[in-house]
Each structure stands twice: as structure tokens, then as C-alpha cells.
Amino acid sequence: MSLLHDKLSTTLPAYQDSIKSLAKSHGETVIDNVSVGALLGGQRGIKSLLCDTSEVPADHGLIIRGTPIMQLVDKLPEEVFWLLLTGDLPTAAELADFQTDLNSRREVPRYVWDVLEAMPKDSHPMATFNLLVLALERESIFRKRYDEGMPKDQYWHAVLEDCLNLVAKLPEIAAGVYRWRYDLGQRIAPKAGLDWAASYAYMMGIEDKDGGFARLMRLYMTLHTDHESGNVSAHTSHCVGSALSDPYYTICAGLNGLAGPLHGLANQEVLEWLLDVINKFNGVPSNEQLHNFAQETLNSGRVIPGYGHAVLRVVDPRFTAFMEFGKKECPNAPVFKLAEQVFNVVPDILKTIQKIKDPWPNVDSISGSLLHHYGVTQARYYTVLFGVSRAIGISSQLVLSRAWGEPIQRPKSITLGALKKLAGA
């Protein structure tokens, strides 16, 4: 047994007990109301989900297990994974044990590559990546043990096994998608001694003389792991996981939600938008030209990608973390400078539009400009990177959900007629 498993075996029973006793003693206490507007408005803001891995206060942004994300930017994604699962950062010994454990699980079965090579090259990289995650369902320990009659208190153990097996393989799978999709040559085998994110960077085959790309990938993977559980990818995976679909089905479902342009695909849209600006003005625009370009986007009925948020009402701290990285590592990279210029121009435009609640940049408004600098110029691949990281958060939420026995989700729908009646309309 790994140190992670030992630690969770010690801490999770108390977590489970506290939830059970809360349900028993305060099950009837009302914590929120549902208005007609909320029902018709994407359930925005209704408190109806339990998530202990992270929280996103509107005026602060991401806090993981009590620690603001800005205090975690130097941590490896493996450390954040451990933190999400256990509530503590790992000690040096725990981290080493965890990394060894993940390395022992990383071999990708041959049939995954057969599925990859059977895909049409012009499939979207997210569709290809998600399909490979689904193909791996064959390996599910949860499903096999469930079929054998596994008792409920063992569910989280089997879910953890599946999640670790999958997360360990994702860098090689995602790097394989990248090299195959863009005809970059043979897949690159993992190299011993690299951490999880640096290994991903290495297998993509990006030239990285000073290690800057590996540093970006560590930060990227750390920043995108988790964002509480109301966002589309996390929420979807909670719903699917609550039916006891195994982690491969569950994580794939979440990743399918991540592939929407209003969610994780916004990083692709942002780079394409920035490159459109550069093409239109043959290089860096003036602030006035940029202002007009943004206005044209809005006038045509489209959103400015990378700006706004369903929860946040301040600059996304993950944006700030990337901005600080760019200022230090590649301050003169043209696309990064343009992303910075957009930040100086666009919020003032969005502030003038009354219906927009958050005029500030989210994480997607800048990540691609940094990837572009290091040579990852293929915007359609960007959401795959987001997905590799987000699988860590979804996994952590899933392990906790199975540990406390989150029941099958089944909210109640009503007809328009019933809604009107309830509203007295």
C-alpha cells in the first residue's frame, strides 16, 4: 500500500462520519432558495453541491484546501493532487512515494494507440483525447470489483486505484495525441527521473534548452487542477459518478463538458482571437485598433473569449499567476505582450455593458499566449492540456464523493406550466 492510501484510510472515515451525522441532525435545515430566475439562468449561485477539495469565493478566486492558489504556484501538480485528496501538502517522503507510485502505473496499453491511429487526423484533439480516456475503461478496477460484489465501504479504494492509473497515463496519452495529430514524428517514451508535468513536456517533444517549457507546464498543470464543483466539467462528473459509473466514464464525461467554448475550449478561442488581431493589423495594434476590434467582436454577437466568469468578480488569480510567469520568463514574446495589452483595453469596454457581471480576465485569456511562445502554436490542442490537469481535480472530488457515499443525483424538473403556476404568473 502507498503512503497516500494509508493517509486516506486514516482520514476519510472521520470525514464520512461528519457528513452522515450532519445529514442526520440537520437534514431539514434550509440553506438556499430557488428563484424562477435561477432556474431559468443555469442554476447560477444556488448552493446545492458539496465540494471540499477547493472553493472559489467571487472576490478572491481559487482556494485549494484553505490555501489561495497564488501560494501554490511553486508546487508540483502531484503535490496539489495530494493536497486536494488529503487536505495537506505531502512531506518530501510522501511526495517521493507518490511519484514512484504514479510512475509504476504509467504504461499505456497498445490498444489505446490503435484507437488513436484509427481516428481521422482532422478530428478535434479533444474528441481524440477523450475517446482514448474512454477506451481505457477496459482497465477499470472499480467496475470489475463492483461486478464481483464489492462492499460499499470499499468503493473509494477502487475509485482511487482507477484515478491514479488514469492520471499516471494521461501525459503520455496527451503527448501521443499531440505528436500524431500534428505529424511530429514517433511518440517519445517517458524519461526516468522527470516529474509528472516535466515528463509531459518532454514527451511532447518541444525543444526546451533552458527548461522554461517544463516550468510552464508545471505551473499550467498546477493552476488548472480544480475549481470547486459547480463548473461544467466538475459538475458533470459528479452527476455521472453518482450513478456509480466508473472513473473512466466519469472523467471522460467531465472532459466532454470541458470541450465547450464557454468553458475549457475558451483557451483555444483566445489564441485564435489574438492571432486574428495580429493578422488584421499586420502585427501589434494600437490600443484604439484593439478597442475597435473587440467592439466588432461584441457587435457581431460573439463573446470576448477569456473574459468574464460565472462566479468570479475579480481578476482570476490564475491569470495573475500566468501574467507573473510571462513577465519573468518571456516579457517580450509578441503574443504574450498582446494578451497583456488586451488586459489593459478590454475590461474597460466590458464594464460599459451592463449585463456583463464580470469584466475581468479568466485563466483562459493568457495561457495560450505562453504556450505559443514555447512553440505549442496549435490552438486546437490547448483544451487537451487543460483536461490533463483537470482530471486531477475531478479524480480528487470523485474519491471524496465515493468515500462519503454521495447518492445518485436526481434533481426534480418541472414543466413551464408548473413553473408559471408556482410563480403566480
Q: In the β-sheet with 67-68, what is the strand arrangement from edge to edge?
A: 54-55, 63-64, 67-68
Using the contact rule CB under 6 A, the part of the chain among 116-124, 157-165, 353-361, 412-420 near ligand CMX is 353-361
Q: Does residue 254 interact with ligand CMX by CB under 6 A?
A: no
Sign of CA dihedral 317, 89, 382, 395: negative
Q: Smallest distance from the beta carbon of 290 to ligand CMX, in angstroms?
A: 15
Phi-psi region of 7 (alpha: psi -120 to 50; beta: other; left: phi over 0): alpha
Asked if 379 and 371 touch (Cβ cutoff 8 Å), the reply is no
61 binds ligand CMX (CB under 6 A): no
Distance of CA 10 to the CA centre of its chain: 28
Name the minimum Å distance from CB 23 to ligand CMX.
30
Does position 307 bind ligand CMX by CB under 6 A? yes
Tell me if 310 contacts ligand CMX by CB under 6 A.
yes
- 60 exposure class (CB count in 10 Å sphere: 0-12, 13-18, 19+): middle
Our CB check for ligand CMX shows the closer of 310 and 333 to be: 310
305 binds ligand CMX (CB under 6 A): yes
d(CA 425, CA 413): 18
Among 10-18, 242-250, 335-343, 349-357, which window interacts with ligand CMX (CB under 6 A)? Answer: 349-357
Q: How many residues bind ligand CMX (CB under 6 A)?
A: 20
Interacting residue with ligand CMX among 262, 414, 418, 422 (CB under 6 A): 262
Q: By the 8 A CB rule, do 340 and 323 touch?
A: yes
Residue 418 interacting with ligand CMX (CB under 6 A): no
Least CB distance to ligand CMX at residue 307 (A): 4
How many Cβ atoms are within 10 Å of 172's Cβ, its own excluded? 21
For ligand CMX, which is the closer residue by CB, 58 or 284? 58
Residue 142 interacting with ligand CMX (CB under 6 A): no
Backbone angles phi, psi at 34, to 5 degrees: -115, 115
The residue behind cell 403556476 is 421
Instruction: Round to whole Å and give the CA distance between 410 and 230.
Output: 16
Contact predicate 374/213, CB 8 Å:
yes
Choices 28-36, 182-190, 262-270, 326-334; region in contact with ligand CMX by CB under 6 A: 262-270
* Per-residue CA distances from 104 to 95, 98, 166 (Å): 14, 10, 12
Q: Of all residues in this chain, which one has the CB nearest to ligand CMX in the complex? A: 308
Residue whose CB is less far from ligand CMX, 51 or 203: 51
Close Cβ partners of 187 (under 8 Å, ≥ 6 residues apart): 113, 172, 175, 176, 179, 180, 203
Residue span binding ligand CMX (CB under 6 A) among the ranges 18-26, 130-138, 190-198, 261-269: 261-269
Binding of ligand CMX at residue 355 (CB under 6 A)?
yes
Per-residue binding string, ligand CMX, 158-197, x by CB under 6 A, is ----------------------------------------
Judged by phi (left if over 0) then psi (alpha if -120 to 50, else beta), residue 187 lies in beta
Cell of 233: 466539467
Q: What b/e string do you get for 387-422 counting C-beta neighbours within 10 Å, with b at 16 or more?
A: bbbbbbbbbbbbbbbbbbebeeeeeeeeeeeeeeee
Q: Which of 235, 263, 372, 373 is catalytic?
A: 263
364 noted as active-site residue: yes
By C-beta, is 169 or 227 nearer to ligand CMX? 227
Question: Residue 65 interacts with ligand CMX (CB under 6 A)?
Answer: no
Residue 37 interacts with ligand CMX (CB under 6 A)? no
**CB of residue 363 vs ligand CMX: minimum separation in angstroms?**
6
Distance separating the N- and C-terminal Cα atoms of the chain = 60
Catalytic residue from among 309, 316, 372, 373: 309
> Do residues 58 and 311 lie in contact, with contact meaning Cβ atoms separated by under 8 Å?
yes
Q: Is 360 in the site for ligand CMX (CB under 6 A)?
A: no
Interface with ligand CMX in residues 221-240 (CB under 6 A): 231
Q: Which stretch binds ligand CMX (CB under 6 A): 79-87, 213-221, 352-360, 415-423?
A: 352-360
Q: In the annotation, is 60 catalytic? A: no
| Cβ distance to ligand CMX smaller for residue 16 or 43 | 43
SS3 call for 163: helix
Nearest to 85 by CA among 167, 197, 7, 1: 7
Q: Is 368 in the site for ligand CMX (CB under 6 A)?
A: no
Phi and psi at 202, nearest 5°, equal -60, -45
Amino acid at 278: I
> Which residue number, 99 or 367, has a Cβ lying nearer to ligand CMX?
367
Catalytic residues: 263, 309, 364
Binding stretches for ligand CMX (CB under 6 A) = 231, 262-264, 266, 298, 303-310, 355-358, 362, 364
